[in-house]
């Protein structure tokens, strides 16, 4: 299989896997995404979140307002720019995110247990560092911005 075909098959397969795993989610994907960004990246502004998610500032702000209303995110004055708010994950938000991640992992773990044999599990485990390297490269390599962004 040539590199272009391998890349397309990998993209399709991982996309389908992610969508299948997310069927266990009980909160909207945008909300889970914002909680995840705050968990991994620490406090940030709505503009930071919008940029990372590739959505409009208005869309990110709407999602953040929902999360603040649920007590999962706290907004406080930005220490360097009083015009901005700094968003922080609350303990309740961290717990909610852990529940979502736990459901995802439980579903995927069950599928691995039911479908893959020991040798296949070893192959899957051996592929994880390769996938991590590809992810790091794609995340850290500057790419041309899409039109309109």
Nearest to 38 by CA among 81, 30, 122, 125: 30
Provide the 8-state DSSP code for 70.
T
* pLDDT tens readout for residues 118-142: 999 999 999 999 999 999 999 888 7
What is the Cα–Cα distance from 86 to 32, expressed in whole angstroms? 18
The pLDDT score that the predictor gives to residue 6 is 96
Q: Span 69-86, mean pLDDT?
A: 91
Look at residue 115 and give its three-state secondary structure.
Answer: helix
Give start and end residues of each alpha helix (H) in the chain.
Answer: 3-21, 29-41, 46-53, 57-69, 91-115, 118-140
Q: Which fold has domain 3-140?
A: Arc Repressor Mutant, subunit A (1.10.10)
Q: Span 9-21, mean pLDDT?
A: 94
Domain ranges for the chain:
3-140
The pLDDT score that the predictor gives to residue 88 is 96
């Amino acid at each position: 299989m040539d590199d272009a075909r391998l890349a397309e098959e990998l993209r399709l397969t991982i996309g389908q896997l992610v969508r299948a795993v997310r069927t266990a989610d009980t909160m909207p994907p945008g909300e889970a995404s914002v909680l995840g960004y705050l968990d991994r990246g620490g406090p940030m502004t709505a503009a930071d979140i919008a940029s990372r998610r590739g959505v409009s500032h208005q869309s990110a702000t709407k999602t953040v307002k929902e999360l603040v209303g649920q007590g999962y995110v706290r907004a406080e004055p930005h220490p360097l720019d009083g015009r901005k708010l700094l968003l922080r994950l609350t303990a309740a938000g961290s717990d909610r995110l852990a529940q979502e991640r736990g459901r995802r992992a439980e579903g995927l773990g069950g599928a691995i247990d039911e479908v893959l044999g020991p040798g296949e599990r070893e192959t899957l485990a051996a592929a994880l560092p390769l996938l991590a390297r590809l992810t790091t490269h794609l995340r850290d390599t500057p790419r041309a911005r899409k039109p309109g962004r």
